[in-house]
């Protein structure tokens, strides 16, 4: 599931012609941490998900079934 979010982040970033460095600056995080999000090494915190929503106009529905966390992206109006 993490790689799906990472793929979504990369797709949205490249659609906007942003580099990882530019995106990380907008989010207030390091470029290396952002790269780790794109590769699925790390999962964004709730606060970072809100910042990602501000930058990419995405909304994440997160469901916790007690064992794993699933996410599904829902496009907001642009």
Quick check: 57 and 43 in contact, CB under 8 A? no
2-11, 16-25, 44-53: least confident range: 2-11
Q: How many separate helices (H) and strands (E) can be counted in the chain?
A: 4, 2
Quick check: 24 and 31 in contact, CB under 8 A? yes
Number of domains into which the chain is organized: 1
- Which residue, chain included where needed, has tokens 């829902």? 74
Q: What's the predicted TM-score (pTM) here?
A: 0.71
Rounded Cα distance, 76 and 57, in Å: 6
Name the residue range of residue 32's domain.
Answer: 2-75
Quick check: 69 and 26 in contact, CB under 8 A? no
Average pLDDT over residues 35-55: 91
- CATH code (residue 56): 1.10.260.40
More confident residue, 63 or 10: 10
């Amino acid at each position: 599931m993490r790689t799906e979010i990472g793929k979504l982040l990369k797709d949205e970033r490249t659609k906007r012609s942003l580099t990882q460095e530019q995106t990380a600056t907008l989010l207030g995080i390091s470029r290396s941490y952002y790269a780790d999000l794109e590769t699925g090494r790390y999962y964004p915190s709730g606060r970072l998900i809100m910042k990602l929503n501000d930058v990419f106009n995405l909304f994440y529905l997160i469901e916790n079934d007690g064992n794993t966390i699933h996410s599904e992206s829902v496009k907001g109006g642009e």
